[in-house]
Structure formats: structure tokens, C-alpha cells
């Protein structure tokens, strides 16, 4: 049963607004929240579908439905209230999305696109077929297959869940044959989770790009950025990436062709490895706004979120130009379980030029994304100094 929160609560009646369009977002985390804020700026309403009433996006949306975004019932209720449905994550059963499309609802990205992206092995095969470089990989059905892949590709190897991985949770590094059993167990291989292996890429840098593609399939590209992960989680983003013009152009071209290969509509993130020999391979594609593009809110003329809204509504796309020579984004991650209240905000806000974003999560946890900070500067060093100093002031949880 899907409960319409605002319809049930006497203090939160469904507001009447003059919005010309309504966007439904399946998923209510920080990405949905930042999409909803961008939509509101243009005078559009958003309705969120999330499993819990308390979620980051609900606080800034017109209305929230409490229900499962991975159920046909929940998605149908959402679709009936809006002009277009979009997604905050790629973990939705594509049959539900296809059912909405069959009923004439607009869904962007489409069921077909999500189907090509949500299984990382299928995604990489799709990219390979489109002539794009990806790490060497193999599907595996059991531990013997992993051992055989180790023989063929060499150790270390990455064992990865084909679906539902995020923030590195679906990844395990296999350094030798002895690691295979534990890695297989940890990723749920015995429980029937589909896994695959991929060569370990000794990269010199991780690059990423956001591309927004409109309903007319015309696209705009943001600058190529460098991302730095800690424990497989994005920690910092430097825009633009400090790479030569030829590398930047190659990365941008790979990003553009990758989103074309899956017939993207909306803002997509493309993660890449820059290898020691200069080769660029695609790590993965995210069919949604992406952490590597949060800096665009302050640093670009039109953010990845606003362009996503424009794209799914069929509106002209905005300029992706940087408004400063450099920008750095630092994620604010939780360190341990506890209440989600931010501490140290006053000191953080005293750092000139740094922009603080808090997602309003009621609970924090180890590695949980609680907010981010972006700083602009005349150089990457200057921006990184301000962003890091500001982010260093903020903690989450109890005072004790």
C-alpha cells in the first residue's frame, strides 16, 4: 500500500501551485533532493517515491509517496501524478519501468537504457560492442571460474557484483587464489548473487565526466574531472582534471560515446581510469546525476541537476561552462553510527568561498554520504585548500 503522506497529514495538505510541469523521482536520497531543488528553481514541482517518510528529498519536494520505488504499484501511483518519471538510482526492475512506458507514461532514462546499465557486466559488454575501451573482464559462475580468470588475466583481480553495488560495497580485491573463497562469500556468490571479474587497473588517476543528453539526443558535456576515492568511496573531485588537452579530449569523447551507446536521456556520469601507459578505460556508467558532478552547482553556469530536469522535460539544455578557473568538491562522510546532526557548521561557514551542502539525513553511519563542500578558486590548489579546510570543520553525530 502506498501512502500519500501529504494527503494523510492534516498539517501538510497537498499544496496547489502554478507549476507547469511535475517530475516524479523514484528514490529520495541526496541525488533526488538536489534534483528537486533544481526543479523548484525553475518553478517545477517534484513528487518523491521513497520507502521511508523521512528522506533527504522529501523535505524539499512538493509531496512524498511512501512506497517501494522497485514495485510496479508504487511506480504507477507516482506516474499517475506527474508528467515525467525519472530515477535516482539504477536498481529498479526494468519490467516495472517498461510497464509504465507501455501505459504511455514518460520515463527518462528509459527502461531499455536502465536495462543496459544496471548490470555492470552487460553495461561493459554494451560499451565494448560500441568500440569503447573497458577493463578485461569475465562473467563467473563459481569459485573455479574466478581461479581460471586469475590464470588468464593475472592477479590481483577485482571480483564485482553485477548489480546493486554502490560506494564499493559490491567489490572485492582478489590478490591471489587464497582470497577467492572469502571474496566470493562476502559478495554473496553462494547466495546466488551474479558476479563477474575484471582486471585490476593500476591507474595514475581516475577521471569522470557528466554528460547531459536531451530527449532530442543532443548532448552537452561538462569538464573532465579527477576523482579521488578512499576505501572505494568518492572523497574528492577536482575540476577540471589536471591532464593535458589531448587526454581531456579523449576522455570527453569516450564519455560522449558511452552515453550514446546506451541511448541516454538525462544527466549521466561516466567514470574512467587513466592508466600508466596513457590509455583510458571506462570503469562504469551511472544513468543518473553523479557524485563527480556535485561541483557543477556552484562551478558551472547550469548544474548537472538543472540540466537533468531540463533534459527529462524536453527543454533546451544549459551551458556547462566553468564560472571559475577551478573547483574542488569534498564529500562529508559519516564516521560511525549515530544521529545525523552536523556539528561545526558555524566554523565551516566562516571559510570564505566554500559552499556547504547538507543532505538532512537523520542518521549517520561509517562512510555514509551526509553532505559535501564545494570551493571555487583561481587554481586547484586554492580551491582544494578552502574546500578541505571547510569540510574538516564538520562532524556528524553526538557531541560526546
Query: Which residues contact ligand ATP by CB under 6 A?
Result: 135, 158, 165-171, 198, 200-201, 206, 229, 232-234, 271, 283-284
Rounded CA-CA distance 197/68 in Å is 31
| Shortest spacing between CB 254 and ligand ATP, in angstroms | 16
| Cβ nearer to Mg ion, comparing 290 with 357 | 290
Nearest to 268 by CA among 307, 240, 238: 307
Rounded CA-CA distance 2/73 in Å is 8
Residue tagged 556547504 (cell numbers): 356
Contact assessment for residue 371 and residue 357, using Cβ atoms and an 8 Å cutoff? yes
| Cβ nearer to Mg ion, comparing 197 with 322 | 197
135 binds, among Mg ion, ligand ATP, none (CB under 5 to 8 A by kind): ligand ATP
388 binds, among ligand ATP, Mg ion, none (CB under 5 to 8 A by kind): none
Rounded CA-CA distance 117/343 in Å is 38
| Shortest spacing between CB 291 and ligand ATP, in angstroms | 7
90 binds, among Mg ion, ligand ATP, none (CB under 5 to 8 A by kind): none
66 binds, among Mg ion, ligand ATP, none (CB under 5 to 8 A by kind): none
Rounded CA-CA distance 286/271 in Å is 8
| Shortest spacing between CB 183 and Mg ion, in angstroms | 18
| Cβ nearer to ligand ATP, comparing 76 with 163 | 163
Burial of 399 (0-12, 13-18, 19+ CB in 10 A): exposed
Rounded CA-CA distance 238/389 in Å is 15
| Cβ nearer to ligand ATP, comparing 120 with 389 | 120
Rounded CA-CA distance 71/164 in Å is 16
CB atoms within 10 A of CB 10: 5
| Cβ nearer to Mg ion, comparing 86 with 283 | 283
| Shortest spacing between CB 25 and ligand ATP, in angstroms | 18
Interaction site with Mg ion (CB under 5 A)? 271
| Shortest spacing between CB 119 and ligand ATP, in angstroms | 12
Amino acid at each position: 500500500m502506498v501512502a500519500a503522506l501529504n494527503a494523510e497529514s492534516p498539517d501538510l495538505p497537498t499544496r496547489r501551485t502554478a507549476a507547469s510541469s511535475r517530475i516524479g523521482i523514484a528514490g529520495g536520497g541526496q541525488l533526488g533532493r538536489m534534483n528537486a531543488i533544481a526543479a523548484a528553481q525553475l518553478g517545477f514541482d517534484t513528487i518523491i517515491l521513497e520507502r521511508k517518510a523521512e528522506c533527504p528529498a522529501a523535505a524539499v519536494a512538493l509531496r512524498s509517496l511512501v512506497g517501494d520505488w522497485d514495485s510496479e504499484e508504487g511506480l504507477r501511483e507516482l506516474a499517475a501524478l506527474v508528467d515525467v518519471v525519472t530515477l535516482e538510482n539504477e536498481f529498479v526492475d526494468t519490467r516495472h519501468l517498461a510497464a509504465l512506458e507501455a501505459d504511455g507514461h514518460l520515463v527518462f532514462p528509459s527502461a531499455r537504457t536502465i536495462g543496459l546499465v544496471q548490470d555492470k557486466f552487460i553495461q561493459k559488454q554494451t560499451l565494448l560492442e560500441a568500440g569503447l575501451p573497458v577493463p578485461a573482464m569475465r562473467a563467473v559462475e563459481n569459485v573455479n571460474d574466478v581461479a581460471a580468470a586469475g590464470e588468464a588475466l593475472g592477479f590481483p583481480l577485482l571480483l564485482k557484483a553485477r548489480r546493486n553495488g554502490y560506494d564499493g560495497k559490491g567489490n572485492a580485491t582478489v590478490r591471489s587464489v587464497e582470497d577467492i573463497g572469502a571474496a566470493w562469500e562476502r559478495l554473496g556468490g553462494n547466495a546466488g548473487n551474479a558476479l563477474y571479474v575484471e582486471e585490476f587497473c593500476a591507474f595514475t588517476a581516475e577521471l569522470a565526466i557528466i554528460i547531459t543528453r536531451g530527449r532530442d539526443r543532443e548532448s552537452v558535456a561538462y569538464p573532465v574531472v579527477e576523482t579521488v576515492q578512499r576505501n572505494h568511496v568518492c572523497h574528492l573531485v577536482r575540476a577540471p582534471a589536471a591532464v593535458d588537452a589531448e587526454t581531456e579530449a579523449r576522455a570527453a569523447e569516450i564519455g560522449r560515446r558511452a552515453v550514446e551507446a546506451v541511448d541516454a536521456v538525462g544527466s549521466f556520469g561516466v567514470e574512467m581510469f587513466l592508466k600508466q601507459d596513457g590509455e583510458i578505460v571506462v570503469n562504469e556508467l551511472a544513468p543518473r546525476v553523479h557524485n563527480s558532478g556535485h561541483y557543477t552547482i556552484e562551478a558551472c553556469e547550469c548544474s548537472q541537476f538543472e540540466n537533468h530536469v531540463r533534459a527529462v522535460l524536453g527543454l533546451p539544455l544549459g551551458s556547462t561552462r566553468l564560472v571559475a578557473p577551478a573547483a574542488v568538491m569534498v564529500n562529508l562522510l559519516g564516521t560511525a553510527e549515530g544521529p545525523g546532526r552536523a556539528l561545526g557548521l558555524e566554523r565551516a561557514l566562516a571559510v570564505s568561498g566554500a559552499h556547504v551542502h547538507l543532505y538532512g539525513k537523520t542518521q549517520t553511519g561509517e562512510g555514509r554520504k551526509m553532505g559535501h563542500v564545494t570551493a571555487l578558486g583561481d587554481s586547484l590548489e586554492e580551491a582544494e585548500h578552502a574546500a578541505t579546510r571547510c569540510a574538516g570543520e564538520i562532524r556528524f553525530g553526538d557531541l560526546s
